Amino acid sequence: MTTATIESPATTGTRFHVGLHVADLGRAVQFYRVLLGVPPAKHFDDYAKFELAVPPLVIALYPSPQQAGGALNHVGLRYPDSGALVEVQRRLEEAGIATQRQEGVECCYARQTKFWVTDPDRTLWEIYTLHEDTEHSGFDDPPAMQTAPTAVWQHRITDPLPERIPHSDGSLDEVILEGTFNALIPCWRLSQLLADVHRSLKPGGKLSVHGLVGDKPFPGEPKLPGIASLVRRVPVETEPLGQLLRAGFGGLFYEKLGDIHCFSVNGVELRELRLHGWKPGAAAGSCPVMYKGPFEQVTDECGTVYRRGARVMVSALVAGWLRTGPAADQFTFLPT
């Protein structure tokens, strides 16, 4: 059994305590050693614990490869001033751990400066300092957590747009565009990026788009509160779908189109969008499927017609799109 213990801080006083499932205990300990700036108070093969006097905090780590991250949304640390915030962020960045900073955002009836960081098991941390209370909640939601496949490339609204995605042809399982459609990027440059995404994805690879869209063209440049202050452009809600279709992606569906998070600015109804599509490919084999209804028939983007109750042979790739799409429960997937 590996042990690495140090003298723990005083046990008196109140501390925030959180227990986390982690897939790789050693990797998690290395991350939290950098984040917190101290070694673990206890470190065994099946358990590790960090104890801090400032801030008063206890973090317990339990190796559970099947439950990494659990149902936890995010956890946070509040520091007394921006200087302390800068020091923690500097320590992480110097260790090669990426952070996402936000200045003066409005969230949870308060104005805060913060940065977000994820640990190796995708647990989302909010590190912040409080400026003042406000009378409204703001619009700052934590960045969405993604379960990364084997090979993934992500572009965020705050990142510069690369001339070329730094991956070889057909090498990526997934590309994530986080707010990219809300950046001040010319349409022709965005088309180039989507073509490069198509190039770098494997056949059957997935493209995920997340951002803010409107029900009509937005007049001028938006000036939005909270994390939405990063938005410089609001496309009409059908624009990303059309651009993905023109770039050659198939199996497109909206995971979300703002049925809950919705507000109006300058007469435009703004909605959160999550759109997914796949790069077509020569997936091996075919699969019989049967459409169950409720319509008499439906047609997919490839022109295949599915009549209610009729068996249809489709490629394994199309069957995969149907299985992962929002209408999956409307189909029966028969044995080959």
Torsion of CA 316, 319, 321, 325, to 10 degrees: -160
pTM over 0.75? The answer is: no
Pairing state of beta strands 152-156 and 201-214? Answer: unpaired
**271 lies in the same domain as 296:** no
**274 lies in the same domain as 174:** yes
> Helix (H, G, I), strand (E, B), or coil: what is residue 294?
coil
How distant, in Å, are the alpha carbons of 20, 149, 154 from that of 122? 11, 12, 14
Q: Which residues contact 163 (CB under 8 A, 6 or more apart)?
A: none
For 219-247, the pLDDT digits (tens) are 888 877 766 778 889 999 899 999 999 99
In angstroms, how far is the first alpha carbon of the chain from the final one?
50
How many Å apart are CA 205 and CA 319, to the nearest integer? 14
**259 lies in the same domain as 190:** yes
Name the H helices within the chain.
25-36, 82-94, 187-200, 239-246, 316-324
> Which range of residues forms the domain containing residue 224?
152-278
| Residue 7 maps to a domain | no
For 4-28, the pLDDT digits (tens) are 444 444 444 556 777 788 888 888 9
For 164-209, the pLDDT digits (tens) are 999 999 999 899 999 999 998 888 999 999 999 999 999 888 999 9
**54 lies in the same domain as 72:** yes
**162 lies in the same domain as 93:** no
Supply 183's token pair: 């950046």
What is the distance, to the nearest Å, from the Cα of residue 85 to the centroid of all Cα atoms in its chain?
23
| Residue 138 maps to a domain | no
**274 lies in the same domain as 293:** no
**226 lies in the same domain as 265:** yes
